[in-house]
Amino acid sequence: MAARADMPDVLLVTVDALRPDRLGCYGGDRAMAPHIDRLADSACVFETAWAAGPNTPASFPGLMASRTAFQSGSLGVGEAPVTLAELLRSQGYGTFGFNAGNPYVSRFFGYDRGFDELRSFLEHTPTDGGVFDHVPQDEAAGTRVSGAASAVRRAFRGARAALKVPLRALGLLRPLEPLWRPVLDHMRYWSRFRVKLDLEERYWSAVSDWLEAPPERPFFLWLHPMTVHEPYCPPARCQREVAGRALSMRRMIALRRAAGRVAEGDRSALSDRDVRELRMLYDAEVRRMDERLGVVLDALRRQGRLERCLLIVTSDHGEQFMEHGRCFHPSFHFNETLRVPLLVRLPGEDEGRRVEREVGLVDLLPTVADLLGAELPDGACVGRSFAPLLRGEEMSTEGRLFVSESFYGPHGTFYQLDCRDLRRVKRRVSFQNRCIKLAADGAAGTCSVFDLRSDPGEEDDLSGRRPELEEAAMGLARCHFRRAERERVRRAFPGGPPGGRP
């Protein structure tokens, strides 16, 4: 199908781990992200947008396919009825994606579906650890560790393995840990910083190259920058711009090491000053990302394509800075990670508006379909179109609870999961809107409840004192989990049971 000439280009920017409150259009410092704020002046700014999960693998099925992660037996969108890129390609769009190295949104998890070209920049992602432990090696073979920083990482892994055996044999591994761990951690994080800096350059350079000669026909361009994602190692210039001073590489590494210890359970590893400095580094990364995004927007503006572009800027999840005793974006359902920015600018729009109605990222796919007049298969989406809100019409979201899901493995994080098989992972789910948060841990059989009207910071868990709310949290979670199981059974046996009805 050829795209109609009046169809707009579509630019979707999903900044990994971007908190809304760091942006001026969400009440943050207006100097932090001036390009995004300028865009907000002519866009619909959704005051409350909910992610479908607190981290990338849990959130992205909702964002790209309007599905919840638990609806699949495996991670990603490989089993989704339709993805955003597929929808747009079916309308005649050229579809292009640039993912700055996040393996969870790469082809390994079905995110290349519908794309004419998806570049994932996984060259520096180690294939011998983390998510790739669970990807068949023939698929992982397309990626390889390269570059000086990665050579250091390989050397570090080798040295660590070689040292561990004799030290453990002598019973010295633990007693000598204060001596060896800082050195090895320093090497590890130094290499991660170098990899990130190198990747950033290559990523944005590739995006700029693409923008030099975009296709004539309408395009869908998806950008997934990792600039704001940890480890935070912004250039000194960006740090000075947001804080008037810059931290040394040594200090940045020390902060990342301490944050790593928090993730391992030592909540005292970060002092208040450390947290302030981590936030400052994060803000400087936001500043750097905004600069890069500004270059992209300028390029489209020069070509006269920005004005006729449907532009969506959002994030897959937010970030925590010890508000609830943790850093980054673990599998816990607090609003620091579940609330995301969402800006949508319709083609030709030049007047900004704020939208109070709550929406979810699961609504993006049906909204884009609605705006383009495209049909979606029945039952393909769990979200609903918010196109009427973009047109300034009324639309009720009364009675709506937004669902977010997450999963965790044996060590409490999602990194160690067997991503290709979600049948035996431990699950969390939450149901929320501006008034209430009902969160349940399926494996632990526990829940937490927050009245967000009186307790927006989620500090006072009501679960022990409000049995009716506790019952609602556990009951809704149970129904949700069972529905996911039933859907998986239906998919496994689409024609009914083997042998038919007795």
Binding letters toward another protein, positions 447-476, x by CB under 8 A: ----x----------------xx-xx--xx
Residue 501 beta carbon to another protein: minimum distance, rounded to whole angstroms = 6
Distance CA 267, CA 271 (A): 9
User: Which residues, 55 to 114, sit near another protein by CB under 8 A?
Assistant: none
355: contact with another protein by CB under 8 A: no
Closest separation in Å from C-beta 462 to another protein:
11
> What is the closest distance, in whole angstroms, from the C-beta atom of residue 10 to another protein in the complex?
33
481 binds another protein (CB under 8 A): yes
In the structure encoding, which two tokens stand for residue 301, read together? 């503006």
The token duo for 97 is 């994606």
Residue 489 contacts another protein per CB under 8 A: yes
Q: Find out whether 309 and 11 touch, Cβ atoms under 8 Å.
A: yes
Minimal distance, residue 467 CB to another protein, in Å:
12
- Give whichever of 289 and 474 is closer to another protein, judged by the CB atom: 474
What are the structure tokens assigned to 355, written together? Answer: 């939208």
Residue 131 Cβ vs another protein, minimum distance, rounded to whole Å:
20
Torsions phi, psi for 174 (to 5 deg): -70, -50
For the purposes of burial, counting CB atoms within 10 Å of the CB of 481, is it exposed (0-12), middle (13-18) or buried (19 or more)? Answer: middle
Nearest to 459 by CA among 467, 449, 469, 468: 449
Q: Is the sign of the CA dihedral 178, 183, 184, 189 positive or negative? A: positive
Residues 317/17, Cβ–Cβ less than 8 Å? yes
Minimum distance, C-beta of residue 39 to another protein, in the bound complex (Å): 32
State how far the Cα of 254 lies from the Cα of 372, in Å rounded to an integer: 49
Rounded distance, CA 404 to CA 390, Å? 24
Q: Which stretch binds another protein (CB under 8 A): 190-198, 229-237, 361-369, 395-403?
A: 395-403
114 touches 89 (CB < 8 A): yes
Shortest distance, CB of residue 502 to another protein, whole angstroms?
8
Q: Which stretch binds another protein (CB under 8 A): 236-244, 320-328, 360-368, 418-426?
A: 418-426
Minimal distance, residue 427 CB to another protein, in Å: 6
The answer to whether residues 14 and 223 touch, using CB atoms and an 8 Å cutoff, is yes
Q: 37 or 363: whose CB is closer to another protein?
A: 363
Residue type at position 52: A
Which pairs from 185-189 meet CB under 8 Å and 24+ separation? 185/253, 185/257, 185/260, 186/253, 186/257, 187/152, 187/153, 187/155, 187/156, 188/153, 188/156, 189/231, 189/253, 189/256, 189/257
Choose, by CB under 8 A, the member of 170, 237, 435, 467 that binds another protein. Answer: 435
| Residues β-bridged to residue 11 | 221, 311
Number of residues forming the site for another protein (CB under 8 A): 41
For another protein, the closer of residues 18 and 447 by Cβ is 447
> Under the criterion CB under 8 A, does residue 424 sit at the interface with another protein?
yes
Of 148, 443, 455, 457, the one binding another protein (CB under 8 A) is 443
Q: Are strands 309-314 and 342-345 parallel, antiparallel or unpaired?
A: antiparallel
Listed ranges 109-117, 168-176, 299-307, 438-446: which one lies at the site for another protein (CB under 8 A): 438-446
Q: Taking the complex as a whole, how short is the minimal distance between the CB of residue 469 and another protein, in angstroms? A: 8
**66, 96, 427, 463: residue in contact with another protein (rule CB under 8 A):** 427
Which one of 309-317, 356-364, 367-375, 422-430 is the stretch in contact with another protein (CB under 8 A)? 422-430
CB of 459 to another protein, least distance (A): 18
Binding site for another protein (CB under 8 A): 398-401, 423-427, 433, 435-436, 440-445, 451, 468-469, 471-472, 475-479, 481-486, 489-490, 493, 496-497, 501-502
